[in-house]
Amino acid sequence: MPRLHLHLLSDSTGETLEMIAKAALAQFEGADVSRHFWPMVRSQQHLDRIMAEIASNPGVVFFTLVNAETRARLEEQCAALGLPIVPVLDAAVEALEGALGQHPKARPGRQHMMDEAYFARVDAIQFTIAHDDGVQWEDWEEADIVLAGVSRSSKTPTSIYLANRGYKVANIPIVVESPPPPELFGLKHPLVVGLTTAPERLIQVRRNRLLSLNQAPETAYVDEDRVAREVQFARRMFADNDWPVIDVTRRSIEEAAAAIINLFNEFKAAREIGPS
């Protein structure tokens, strides 16, 4: 099957468009797709430069453009190249227009306006980056969520994903030879969640990491017995402290984050109700 070039054009950050494209591509296992991302397309001159690249790599074009002239130019040039184009939000906007009885406001990036929620998300991202891998544990009480797990158990990418959803997240590696600071076990405000994974999968991830760094792939870091002990040590710590656990062996970052958000919402609701 030949490679498909998928072009994503947005007049804003393109976050919505990327999520839609990713969800759609998830339905096609093993497809060879090369994604080309073109955000902040707000002028015909910018569009013309992009069209030269699209012509060099023809494929399917997904877009979210609200400016009528820019949109018309895109449609015209794609038609000339014989390329299929998909206005991914049109059906949703048209349905809401009919139901609400009002016309949509054609403002690029309107869903990303800098309101209070936007600045809260920026604050969460800054906090999360500053509290990665056990750093600044003195501030953990300010976090919403603290993730704990052995090395390469997806703590950092899951933390960043959650931060983009507005949650302040810290994470701490669980190392047999180096116990975490005692403060971890006395936290009141944040929800502490343990991340675990199958030792076999962990060894594979770690070995790939070593290879990417041009390091020897056979070290204690990937020793089967040692890794199994690490995972068991972490699981025992989670159980001893009654922390909820997410197994990330077969979960994507998005799926793990969704499960954590559900746990956090339950934790928050229980805290607001108080002891019965």
Closest CA to 167 of 195, 191, 203, 138: 191
Residue-level pLDDT at 22: 87
With 50 as the cut, is the pLDDT of residue 112 above it?
no
Tokens of 79: 């038609």
Q: Is 149 annotated among the ligand-binding residues?
A: yes
| Residue 168 known to bind ligand | no
β strands within 116-216, DSSP E = 145-149, 169-173, 191-196
- pLDDT mean over 20-24: 88
What's the pLDDT tens digit per position in 70-101?
Answer: 999 999 999 999 999 999 888 887 888 888 88
Asked whether 40 and 11 are in contact (CB, 8 A), the reply is yes
CB 107: neighbour CB atoms within 10 A? Answer: 12
User: What's the pLDDT at 226?
Assistant: 95
Give me the pLDDT at residue 216, please.
80
Q: What is the largest CA-CA distance in the chain?
A: 68
Instruction: Taking residues 103-120, report their average pLDDT.
Output: 60
DSSP 175: B
Look at residues 193, 199, 185 and name the one whose alpha carbon lies nearest to residue 228.
199
Q: Give the pLDDT score at 142.
A: 97
To the question of whether residue 219 is assigned a binding role by annotation, the answer is: no
Kindly report, residue by residue over 242-258, the tens digit of the pLDDT. 999 999 999 988 899 99
User: Quick one: pLDDT at residue 217?
Assistant: 77
Give me the numbers of helices (H) and strands (E) for the chain, helices first please. Answer: 9, 8
What's this model's pTM, rounded to 2 decimal places? Answer: 0.62
202 φ/ψ angles, rounded to the nearest 5 degrees:
-65, -40
Quick one: what percent of the chain has pLDDT higher than 70?
A: 93
* Range name among 5-9, 46-50, 270-274 with the lowest pLDDT average: 270-274
Q: Taking all residues of the chain, what is their mean pLDDT, rounded to a whole number?
A: 89
E strand or H helix that includes residue 200? helix 199-212
- What sign has the CA pseudo-torsion 205, 208, 213, 219? positive
**Structure token digits, residue 274:** 């108080």
Q: What is the pLDDT of residue 113?
A: 47
pLDDT over 80 (residue 103)? no
Is 73 annotated to bind a ligand? Reply is: no
Q: Which domains does the chain carry? A: 4-111 (3.40.50), 116-273 (3.40.50.300)
DSSP letter for 146, please.
Answer: E
Apex 15 CA angle, 258 and 37, nearest 5: 130
For residue 109, pLDDT over 70 is answered with no
Of residues 62 and 274, the one with the higher pLDDT is 62
Q: Is 43 annotated as a binding residue?
A: no
> In Å, how far are 68, 109, 248 from 51, measured between CA atoms?
17, 21, 40
Element (DSSP H or E) covering residue 74? helix 68-81
Q: Any binding-site annotation on 156? A: yes
pLDDT, tens digit (0-9, with 9 covering 90-100), for 152-202: 999 999 999 899 888 999 999 999 999 999 999 999 999 999 999 999 999
Round to whole Å and give the CA distance between 137 and 43.
46
Q: Rounded to an integer, what distance in angstroms lies between the CA atom of residue 234 and that of residue 260?
A: 18
Does residue 274 register a pLDDT over 80? no
What confidence score (pLDDT) does residue 90 get?
85
Q: Which of 61, 64, 169, 167 is nearest to 112 (CA)?
A: 64
**Ligand-binding site membership of 178 (annotated):** no
* Whether residue 138 has pLDDT greater than 80: yes
| 56 assigned to a ligand binding site | no
How much is the pLDDT for 1?
62
How far apart, in Å, are the Cα atoms of 110 and each of 16, 23, 113?
A: 12, 22, 5
Cα–Cα distances (Å) from 77 to 21, 80, 175, 269, in that order, read 22, 5, 57, 53
Measured CA to CA, the distance from residue 32 to residue 91 in angstroms comes to: 27
Q: What is the pLDDT of residue 97?
A: 82
